[in-house]
Chain A
Protein backbone atom coordinates (compact mmCIF):
# COMPACT_ATOMS: atom_id res chain seq x y z
CA UNK A 1 0.00 0.00 0.00
CA UNK A 2 1.10 3.51 -0.69
CA UNK A 3 1.97 5.77 2.22
CA UNK A 4 2.75 9.47 2.41
CA UNK A 5 4.77 10.92 5.26
CA UNK A 6 5.06 14.55 6.30
CA UNK A 7 7.54 14.64 9.15
CA UNK A 8 7.12 18.33 10.02
CA UNK A 9 3.86 18.88 11.93
CA UNK A 10 4.54 22.63 12.11
CA UNK A 11 6.78 25.12 10.35
CA UNK A 12 7.26 28.84 10.67
CA UNK A 13 8.58 31.38 8.17
CA UNK A 14 8.97 35.12 8.16
CA UNK A 15 7.16 37.15 5.59
CA UNK A 16 9.15 37.47 2.32
CA UNK A 17 11.40 34.55 3.25
CA UNK A 18 11.55 31.08 1.70
CA UNK A 19 10.39 27.88 3.35
CA UNK A 20 10.52 24.24 2.29
CA UNK A 21 7.98 21.63 3.39
CA UNK A 22 9.04 17.99 3.23
CA UNK A 23 7.15 14.97 1.97
CA UNK A 24 8.24 11.41 1.38
CA UNK A 25 6.19 8.59 -0.01
CA UNK A 26 6.38 4.89 -0.48
CA UNK A 27 5.15 3.10 -3.57
CA UNK A 28 6.08 0.24 -5.84
CA UNK A 29 4.51 1.99 -8.83
CA UNK A 30 6.55 3.83 -11.44
CA UNK A 31 3.82 6.04 -12.85
CA UNK A 32 1.91 8.32 -10.53
CA UNK A 33 1.01 11.87 -9.58
CA UNK A 34 2.00 13.90 -6.56
CA UNK A 35 0.14 16.91 -5.27
CA UNK A 36 0.38 19.63 -2.69
CA UNK A 37 -2.91 20.93 -1.33
CA UNK A 38 -3.34 23.98 0.88
CA UNK A 39 -6.02 24.15 3.56
CA UNK A 40 -6.47 27.65 5.03
CA UNK A 41 -8.65 28.31 8.09
CA UNK A 42 -11.70 28.34 5.80
CA UNK A 43 -11.14 24.55 5.49
CA UNK A 44 -11.29 24.66 1.70
CA UNK A 45 -8.80 22.26 0.09
CA UNK A 46 -6.99 24.17 -2.62
CA UNK A 47 -4.68 22.56 -5.15
CA UNK A 48 -1.29 24.25 -5.05
CA UNK A 49 0.82 22.23 -7.44
CA UNK A 50 0.93 18.91 -9.26
CA UNK A 51 3.84 16.74 -10.41
CA UNK A 52 3.70 13.88 -12.86
CA UNK A 53 6.21 11.18 -11.99
CA UNK A 54 7.25 10.54 -15.58
CA UNK A 55 8.29 14.17 -15.99
CA UNK A 56 11.78 14.92 -14.76
CA UNK A 57 11.24 18.66 -14.70
CA UNK A 58 10.10 20.04 -11.37
CA UNK A 59 6.69 21.71 -11.42
CA UNK A 60 6.42 25.43 -10.71
CA UNK A 61 3.41 27.64 -10.05
CA UNK A 62 4.36 31.26 -9.43
CA UNK A 63 5.98 31.36 -5.95
CA UNK A 64 5.49 27.62 -5.41
CA UNK A 65 7.89 25.02 -6.73
CA UNK A 66 8.70 21.43 -5.94
CA UNK A 67 11.85 19.38 -5.65
CA UNK A 68 10.89 15.96 -6.95
CA UNK A 69 13.44 13.23 -6.31
CA UNK A 70 11.92 10.05 -7.73
CA UNK A 71 14.66 7.66 -6.67
CA UNK A 72 14.56 8.99 -3.13
CA UNK A 73 10.74 9.14 -3.18
CA UNK A 74 10.85 12.70 -1.97
CA UNK A 75 8.57 15.56 -2.96
CA UNK A 76 9.23 18.83 -1.15
CA UNK A 77 7.38 22.11 -1.62
CA UNK A 78 9.26 25.40 -1.69
CA UNK A 79 7.39 28.61 -1.07
CA UNK A 80 9.32 31.73 -2.06
CA UNK A 81 8.60 35.27 -0.91
CA UNK A 82 6.19 33.97 1.73
CA UNK A 83 3.04 35.98 2.30
CA UNK A 84 0.64 36.14 5.21
CA UNK A 85 -1.96 34.44 3.03
CA UNK A 86 0.27 31.40 2.75
CA UNK A 87 -0.45 30.50 6.37
CA UNK A 88 -2.36 27.24 6.21
CA UNK A 89 -2.15 23.50 6.59
CA UNK A 90 -0.35 21.90 3.66
CA UNK A 91 -1.03 18.33 2.61
CA UNK A 92 1.07 16.19 0.34
CA UNK A 93 -0.87 13.59 -1.64
CA UNK A 94 -0.16 10.69 -3.97
CA UNK A 95 -2.23 9.06 -6.69
CA UNK A 96 -1.50 6.27 -9.09
CA UNK A 97 -1.71 7.33 -12.71
CA UNK A 98 -4.42 4.99 -13.90
CA UNK A 99 -8.14 5.44 -13.29
CA UNK A 100 -10.51 3.16 -11.43
CA UNK A 101 -9.52 1.99 -7.99
CA UNK A 102 -6.24 3.76 -8.45
CA UNK A 103 -7.97 7.15 -8.59
CA UNK A 104 -7.98 7.64 -4.85
CA UNK A 105 -5.62 10.10 -3.22
CA UNK A 106 -3.43 9.06 -0.32
CA UNK A 107 -2.69 11.99 1.96
CA UNK A 108 0.01 12.79 4.44
CA UNK A 109 -0.94 14.07 7.89
CA UNK A 110 -0.17 17.68 6.99
CA UNK A 111 2.22 20.47 7.93
CA UNK A 112 0.88 23.60 9.54
CA UNK A 113 2.70 26.66 8.19
CA UNK A 114 2.77 29.84 10.20
CA UNK A 115 3.86 33.10 8.55
CA UNK A 116 5.17 35.83 10.84
CA UNK A 117 5.83 39.50 10.26
Chain B
Protein backbone atom coordinates (compact mmCIF):
# COMPACT_ATOMS: atom_id res chain seq x y z
CA UNK B 1 0.00 0.00 0.00
CA UNK B 2 1.13 3.52 -0.73
CA UNK B 3 1.92 5.75 2.22
CA UNK B 4 4.51 6.45 4.83
CA UNK B 5 5.84 3.77 7.14
CA UNK B 6 8.15 3.78 10.13
CA UNK B 7 10.15 1.01 11.73
CA UNK B 8 10.44 -0.21 14.32
CA UNK B 9 7.16 0.81 15.96
CA UNK B 10 8.64 0.22 19.42
CA UNK B 11 12.25 0.24 20.54
CA UNK B 12 13.92 -0.09 23.93
CA UNK B 13 17.61 0.68 24.13
CA UNK B 14 20.24 1.61 26.68
CA UNK B 15 22.05 4.85 27.28
CA UNK B 16 25.05 5.25 24.98
CA UNK B 17 23.87 2.90 22.25
CA UNK B 18 23.35 3.92 18.65
CA UNK B 19 19.80 3.64 17.37
CA UNK B 20 18.42 4.17 13.87
CA UNK B 21 14.77 4.84 13.18
CA UNK B 22 13.62 4.19 9.64
CA UNK B 23 11.14 6.12 7.54
CA UNK B 24 9.94 5.17 4.08
CA UNK B 25 7.40 6.89 1.83
CA UNK B 26 5.96 5.71 -1.48
CA UNK B 27 4.57 9.04 -2.73
CA UNK B 28 7.90 10.39 -4.04
CA UNK B 29 7.36 13.51 -1.95
CA UNK B 30 10.27 15.92 -2.02
CA UNK B 31 10.06 16.99 1.62
CA UNK B 32 10.51 14.73 4.60
CA UNK B 33 10.57 15.58 8.30
CA UNK B 34 11.35 14.10 11.68
CA UNK B 35 9.46 15.28 14.76
CA UNK B 36 9.50 14.20 18.35
CA UNK B 37 6.44 14.29 20.56
CA UNK B 38 6.73 14.87 24.29
CA UNK B 39 4.09 15.71 26.87
CA UNK B 40 3.57 19.44 27.16
CA UNK B 41 5.49 20.22 23.98
CA UNK B 42 3.34 18.98 21.13
CA UNK B 43 5.50 17.96 18.17
CA UNK B 44 8.88 19.55 17.64
CA UNK B 45 10.92 19.40 14.46
CA UNK B 46 14.26 17.62 14.68
CA UNK B 47 15.47 17.62 11.06
CA UNK B 48 13.98 17.98 7.65
CA UNK B 49 15.00 17.34 4.06
CA UNK B 50 13.98 19.19 0.91
CA UNK B 51 15.28 16.51 -1.47
CA UNK B 52 17.78 13.67 -1.65
CA UNK B 53 21.13 14.75 -0.20
CA UNK B 54 19.66 18.00 1.18
CA UNK B 55 19.00 18.12 4.91
CA UNK B 56 18.72 20.86 7.50
CA UNK B 57 18.29 21.27 11.23
CA UNK B 58 15.00 21.92 12.88
CA UNK B 59 14.16 23.10 16.37
CA UNK B 60 15.80 20.31 18.42
CA UNK B 61 18.59 18.67 16.34
CA UNK B 62 21.21 18.01 19.05
CA UNK B 63 22.09 14.34 19.43
CA UNK B 64 20.54 13.31 16.12
CA UNK B 65 21.91 12.63 12.65
CA UNK B 66 19.99 12.20 9.40
CA UNK B 67 20.76 11.20 5.87
CA UNK B 68 18.78 11.02 2.67
CA UNK B 69 20.51 9.15 -0.10
CA UNK B 70 17.20 8.18 -1.73
CA UNK B 71 14.05 10.26 -2.06
CA UNK B 72 11.88 7.63 -0.38
CA UNK B 73 13.98 7.00 2.74
CA UNK B 74 14.88 9.32 5.59
CA UNK B 75 16.53 7.50 8.52
CA UNK B 76 17.10 9.19 11.87
CA UNK B 77 20.09 8.09 13.95
CA UNK B 78 20.72 8.68 17.63
CA UNK B 79 24.48 8.30 17.76
CA UNK B 80 24.67 7.85 21.55
CA UNK B 81 21.21 7.61 23.04
CA UNK B 82 20.38 9.51 26.22
CA UNK B 83 17.37 9.22 28.53
CA UNK B 84 16.16 12.64 27.41
CA UNK B 85 15.66 11.15 23.95
CA UNK B 86 12.92 8.88 25.24
CA UNK B 87 9.99 10.04 23.13
CA UNK B 88 7.63 9.22 20.30
CA UNK B 89 9.17 9.97 16.93
CA UNK B 90 7.14 10.84 13.87
CA UNK B 91 8.25 10.97 10.30
CA UNK B 92 6.27 13.05 7.81
CA UNK B 93 6.41 13.85 4.13
CA UNK B 94 4.92 16.53 1.89
CA UNK B 95 5.04 17.75 -1.66
CA UNK B 96 3.09 20.98 -1.45
CA UNK B 97 1.38 22.40 1.57
CA UNK B 98 0.18 19.44 3.65
CA UNK B 99 2.32 17.07 5.68
CA UNK B 100 1.32 13.43 6.08
CA UNK B 101 2.58 11.49 9.05
CA UNK B 102 3.80 7.98 9.65
CA UNK B 103 2.48 5.89 12.55
CA UNK B 104 5.28 6.86 14.92
CA UNK B 105 8.02 5.00 16.80
CA UNK B 106 7.97 4.87 20.57
CA UNK B 107 11.58 4.91 21.76
CA UNK B 108 12.55 4.23 25.36
CA UNK B 109 16.12 4.83 26.49
CA UNK B 110 16.96 3.11 29.79
Cβ A45 vs Cβ B101 within 8 A: yes
Tally inter-chain residue pairs, CB-CB below 8 A. Answer: 57
B47 smallest CB distance to A (angstroms): 10
In the bound complex, what is the Cα–Cα distance between A46 and B104 (angstroms)? 12
Interface residue total, chain A, C-beta cutoff 8 A: 25
Main secondary structure of the interface of A (DSSP, over half): mixed
* Chain B hits for A91, CB < 8 A: 42-43
Cβ B98 vs Cβ A47 within 8 A: yes
* Chain B hits for A107, CB < 8 A: 42-44
CB contacts under 8 Å to B, within A81-106, are 91, 95, 97, 99-101, 103-105
Given contacts A100-B50, A109-B41, 8 further A-B contacts (CB under 8 A): A37-B101, A42-B103, A43-B106, A50-B97, A91-B42, A97-B97, A105-B35, A105-B92
